[in-house]
């Protein structure tokens, strides 16, 4: 395998390990514990995007129900694909990560 692929696999294992540790330490979400949608925040983000202002990476990150497996803690395949895409985008574009990831 080439070095880039090995690095990506290592980072993915690290992220998955963190997700597993977090899932094991926190309470499982149930339908009653889910946070309601913050429509005011959603409106702010929409207006910011319509004005052409850049959205931060935190502003862009969102998960839909399809991104989570049935219990609401672990990622479904679409959630894993989303995280992998975000990670790959970060590694390709961040000035520090790009220096060792992209060759």
Tokens 């990476």 found at: 57
Number of other residues whose CB lies within 10 A of the CB of residue 56: 9
Instruction: Give 32's pLDDT tier (boundaries 50, 70, 90).
Output: very low
d(CA 72, CA 80) in angstroms, rounded, equals 13
- Is the pLDDT reported for residue 11 higher than 70? yes
DSSP codes, 14-72: HHHHHHHHHHHHSPPP-GGGPPPP-HHHHHHHHHHHHTTPPPPHHHH----GGGB-TTS
Using alpha carbons, select from 44, 74, 69 the residue that is nearest to residue 58. 44
Instruction: Give 71's pLDDT tier (boundaries 50, 70, 90).
Output: confident
CA distances from 54 to 8, 46, 50, 63 (A): 28, 11, 10, 20
pTM for the full predicted model: 0.46
d(CA 42, CA 95) in angstroms, rounded, equals 30
- Is the pLDDT reported for residue 4 higher than 80? no
């Amino acid at each position: 395998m080439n070095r880039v692929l090995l690095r990506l696999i290592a980072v993915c294992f690290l992220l998955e390990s963190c997700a597993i540790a977090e899932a094991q330490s926190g309470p499982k979400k149930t339908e009653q514990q889910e946070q309601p949608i913050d429509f005011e925040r959603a409106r702010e983000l929409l207006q910011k995007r319509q004005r052409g202002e850049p959205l931060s990476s935190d502003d862009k990150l969102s998960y839909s129900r399809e991104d989570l497996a049935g219990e609401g803690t672990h990622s479904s395949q679409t959630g894993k694909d989303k995280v992998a895409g975000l990670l790959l985008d970060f590694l390709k574009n961040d000035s520090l990560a790009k220096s060792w990831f992209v060759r």
